[in-house]
A = this chain, B = another copy of it.
Amino acid sequence: MKTHLPIARSDIHVHLTREHIEQLFGKGYELTKWQDLTIPGQFACRETVTVTGRLGSIEGVFVVGPARAYTQVEISFSNGLALGIDPPLRDSGDIEGSPGAVLHGTAGKVVLNKGVIAAKRHIHMHPKDAADFGVQDRQVVKIRVPGDRGLIFDNVTVRVSPENALEMHIDFDEGFAAGVEDFQLVELIR
């Protein structure tokens, strides 16, 4: 049975609908790939937006492509403090009742009335990885991070899909709290 997997930090980023891409960057605009992400088909774009809340703005927030069916802004609680937005802790895609924000691009702005969340810690696995680790989709596990700031994350959700590549995702607050270096190996505890 496998026990170790790579971990990586997600910085603040946005997913956009086709309609919002056009509002922010212009009619018929297509996102341009900057670099591939670990999840097959997902990529960080050259395009960035400014996210604005009640108390402040964060510039240079990267867009993750391709276009999605909903627009979602994933922030840390540190980002939330700077923006004046208190995000709910949610799985990606679960945006009902979440707060909004204003996004600015090179061609215009979008006023969101929902879509800002803090992402729950999770592990992406391909079905083959799930078999290797002896876990199932939606199973909640613990993850041990070694080191001076070592800790054990509780309530880590496993998400299994043929679209996934093996990686745990946390935000920068969690990364700093655990002294994580991106792509270091951490231990799954069932």
Most buried by B among A76, A77, A150, A151: A151
Which of A15-23, A35-43, A129-137, A168-176 lies on the face that meets chain B?
A168-176
CB-CB < 8 A to A154: which residues of B? 150-152
Q: A163-186 vs B: 1/0 string, CB under 8 Å?
A: 000000010111011110000000
Which residues of the partner chain B approach A62 to less than 8 Å between Cβ atoms?
Answer: none
Assign chain A's interface to a size class: 20 to 34
Within 8 A of B (CB), among A117-160: 120-121, 148-155
Interchain CA distance A173-B89 in the complex, whole Å: 16
CA distance A153 to B132 in the complex (A): 28
B176–A76 touching, CB < 8 Å: yes
Choose among B148, B155, B172 the residue that contacts A149 (Cβ–Cβ < 8 A): B155
Interface residues in chain A, defined as those with a beta carbon under 8 Å from any beta carbon in chain B: 76-78, 81, 89, 120-121, 148-155, 170, 172-174, 176-179
**Given contact pairs A77-B176, A151-B152, A151-B154, a sample of 12 additional A-B residue pairs in the complex whose CB atoms are under 8 Å apart:** A78-B172, A78-B173, A81-B172, A89-B148, A89-B149, A89-B179, A121-B149, A149-B155, A151-B151, A173-B173, A173-B177, A174-B177
